Amino acid sequence: MSRIGKQPVVAPSGVTISVGKDNVVSVKGPKGELKQAIDRDITVEVKDGQITFARPTDQIRHRAMHGLYRSLVSNMVKGVTEGYQRKLELIGVGFKAANQGNVLDLSLGFSHNIIFEIPKEIKVVTAQEKGQNPMITLDGIDKQLIGQVAAKIRGLRKPEPYKGKGVRYLGEVVRKKAGKAAGK
């Protein structure tokens, strides 16, 4: 039995969970509503504010799906109650970030600024404090979407290994290389 899959997901007060036709789980909470289609082989049961998942056999595919869908629904429950936040910092001379609504304007050392459109489900905030690196904060209820958008922003200028310049997650450690040895 999957250690993760066999644990029930407990729905806190204020969260309603329903399983619709075609095995679509809908989670509604104070921050919003999320839906997730579940594989038809996985059985979902909602009872007394708890969601349990069961698989028909011990095939590798079924075992993988069992824990996956339990984790996805658990992340949905956490998202509609608490929400998710991801912070990125821009490290480099002259690197800047500004936003107008959900349009992010990044200056990352290229000859032109990068205009990046953030999905409407995510709220973006940029901050530039004196003596600190510029910060980008992404807030939302969908963990997958926030992670994907943060990865795309980071991919615009990944941290390079010699000076560490680039866009990185807050708290990310970049291993630096020594560079060229001094001449003879």
- Specify whether 136 is located in the same domain as 161: yes
Q: Predicted confidence band at 167 (pLDDT cuts at 50, 70, 90)? A: very high
Convert the pLDDT of each residue in 117-151 to its tens digit.
999 999 999 999 888 999 999 999 999 999 999 99
- Beta-carbon-side half-sphere exposure of residue 98 (alpha carbons within 13 Å): 5
Residue 51: other Cβ atoms inside 10 A: 21
Looking at the structure, tell me whether residues 38 and 68 fall in a common domain.
yes
Looking at residue 40, which CATH number applies to its domain?
3.90.930.12
Residue 184 has pLDDT above 70, yes or no: no
End-of-domain residue from the set 31, 53, 81: 81
Is 50 found in the same domain as 89?
A: no
184 occurs within a structural domain = no
In a domain, 182, yes or no: no
Instruction: Answer yes or no: do 157 and 141 share one domain.
Output: yes
What integer is the mean pLDDT of 147-167?
93
Residues 110 and 41 in one domain: no
Residue 182 pLDDT grade (very low, low, confident, very high; cuts 50, 70, 90): low
Could you tell me if 32 and 52 lie in one domain? yes
Residue with the two structure tokens 């504010």: 49
* Same-domain check for residues 68 and 106: no
Are the beta carbons of 143 and 149 closer than 8 angstroms?
Answer: no
Question: Residue range 15-30: average pLDDT?
Answer: 91
**132 plus 62 within the same structural domain:** no
pLDDT in tens, 90-118: 998 989 999 999 999 999 999 999 999 99
CA atoms lying within 13 Å on the CB side of residue 115? 3
Query: Quick one: pLDDT band at residue 70, thresholds 50, 70, 90?
Result: very high
Instruction: Indicate the residue among 55, 81, 107 that finishes a domain.
Output: 81
Residues 45 and 92 in one domain: no
Answer for the pair 137, 127: CB distance below 8 angstroms, yes or no. yes
Cβ contacts of 83 within 8 Å, gap of 6 or more: 31, 139, 140, 141
The residue-averaged pLDDT of 82-89 equals 95
Whether 89 is in a domain gets the answer yes
Please give the pLDDT value at position 76.
Answer: 94
Specify if 135 maps to a domain: yes
Distances, alpha carbon 46 to alpha carbons 54, 68, 83, 164, in Å: 12, 17, 22, 48
Please count the structural domains in the chain: 2
What pLDDT score was predicted for residue 183?
A: 56
One domain, residues 94 and 159:
yes
With respect to residue 27, please indicate whether it lies within any of the assigned structural domains: yes
Query: Is the residue at 109 inside a domain?
Result: yes
Looking at the domain assignment, is residue 175 inside a domain? no
Instruction: Supply the range of the domain harboring residue 57.
Output: 9-81
Asked if 112 and 35 sit in the same domain, the reply is no
Q: Are residues 31 and 71 in the same domain?
A: yes
**Mean model confidence pLDDT for the chain:** 91
Predicted pLDDT of residue 68: 93
pLDDT band at 48 (very low <50, low <70, confident <90, very high): confident
